[in-house]
Structure 1
C-alpha cells in the first residue's frame, strides 16, 4: 500500500480543511434564511472525497448524491459556483436552479449529484460504458451511502458493470446511519464490500477517516479500473457529525448510542492528518498558514458569490425539455 509523501499529505490536509471550513460556513449562515434549499453536510467525512479524487484527472468523471458538496469541491468544482447555487443566484454551478442537492460542473468532470437515493448509480455505469466504447481511458467514480446498498438498482448496476467490465469505481461511504436509523436495524450482520465481491467486483474495505489510507486504496482501485480490470468497489467507514439534513448537530435526539458521536469526533480526519504531518516534521505554523489561507479563500468566495446577480425571469425557459 503506497503512502503519500509529506507534500502530498499536506495538500490532502488543505483540501480536507477547505471542505470542512466551507461546510461550517454554510452551516453558520444557513439561519439567515437566504439559502432556500435543504443542505446535507459532509462534516466528518472529508477524507473519502479528497482521498479518492486525488487520483482523478480532469477528464475522469464523478457522480454524487444528496451529500455532495465535498465530492464536488474535491473534484475541482468551483467554490463560488457552489455557494452561489445554494443562494439561488445566476453564478451558481446550475444557474441557481438546483440548490444543494443538484450540482454539476462539467469543466471539472463533476457530472451530477441528485437527491434520489441510488439515482446516479445506473447513470454513472452508463457513462462508464460510453467511456469504454469510446476507448477514452477515463474512469467514472460514483459516491453513495450505506443506505443506497438497500436499493435494488445498485445491485442491478453492479451486475451490469461486471458483465460489461466497466471502468467504474463505486465508493460506498458507510457512515452507519440512514437518516436516524442505524445500519444494524436495516441490514443483516455482514460486510457490504463482501456482497459487492459476490457480484464479481474487486472490493475492499477501509478506514474512511484516514485520508492516507483512502488515498492508497483509491489509487489501486482507480488504476485497476483504468487498466481494464473491471469495476471496483470501496467500502469506507466514516460518520457524519451534523444532522442528516440541516446545519445543526442533533445528538440530543438519542438515535445514536451514548458517546458514539464523541468517539467519531476523536477520529476526525483532520486530527489524524494533523498528527501525521507533525510526525513528519511539519510545524504548527504551517498548519496555521493553511488555516488562514483557507479562511481567506472561503470569505472571498462568499463575497464574490453574494455580489452576483439573481437569475433573470427569462432564464426559466432554459434547459427545459418536453
Structure 2
C-alpha cells in the first residue's frame, strides 16, 4: 500500500541509463539477413554529439519477436563495440513469454557487454502479479546488470500494478521503468513511492511524464529527433516550461506519423530514404507503401525536421 508520508519523502530517482535513449531498429540487408556492420554504423549515427545517450536494442521496434537468439546477441555486440568506453549505454531487450528464455537472453547480453537490461512483462500468458514479480526478480538475479522494467499492457495483455513495481524496486538491480501504460495517476504514485527512474515509452506522453517526475525517454522518434528531445528535456529541467511545450507541440505530427503503421516499418522506411542501414522489416510486419512513406515524410517536415530529410552523414 502507498502511504501519505511516502509522497512527502519520495526519493529522487537518478537517470541511470542517461536521459534520451532510442529504441533502435534492427538493420537487415536486402536479403533480410542481419546487417551487423550496419547496426554498428547506425548506433554511431544515433549517438553522435547532441543526440542520444544510448540505445535500446532488441525491443519491439527492433523486431525482437522475429529475430533469433544469435541475432539478438549480435545486436548487443555491435552496439557495445561502438559505445564501450564512451559513457553512452547499450540496453538489451530480453523480453520473452518464458522466464527461462529471458534469463538466457540476459546472460548472453551480459556476455556481450550490455550496460543494462530491458525486461518487459511476459506476454500472452497474462501471469498474475505474483508471477510478474517472480519473473522480474529471477531475471534481475541472473546477471549483475541494472534492469529497466517495461510496462506496456496493450502489447503484453497485463499491466504491472503499482504494488508490484514497488516490490520490484526493492531489488538492488531493478532501477528503472519504461512506461507505456498511459496511466499518469498510477505512474505518479510509483514515482512518488519508489526510487525507480521512469522513462517515457510513449513519445506522445514525453512531456506529460516529465511533469510527474520522469527521468527521460526511451523513444522511437529519437531516430530522427533525439536532438529535439534533448532540447525539450533541457528546457523543462531549466524551468522553461513554455519552451518545452512549444517543442512538444511541434513534434506531435512526427509522433503520430511514426505510429500510423507499425513503428519499425515507419522508421526503417525513413532511414532507407536517408541511406542509413535499415533494410526491410520481417513478417508479420510489411514495409511501407510509397503513399504511406510520403505521408510520413510530410509529418516529419511538419514537425520542423526538414534537415532529417537530407541524406545522412555518418560520423
Higher relative contact order (CA 8 A, sep 6+): 1
TM-score where L is the length of structure 2: 0.37
TM-score where L is the length of structure 1: 0.37
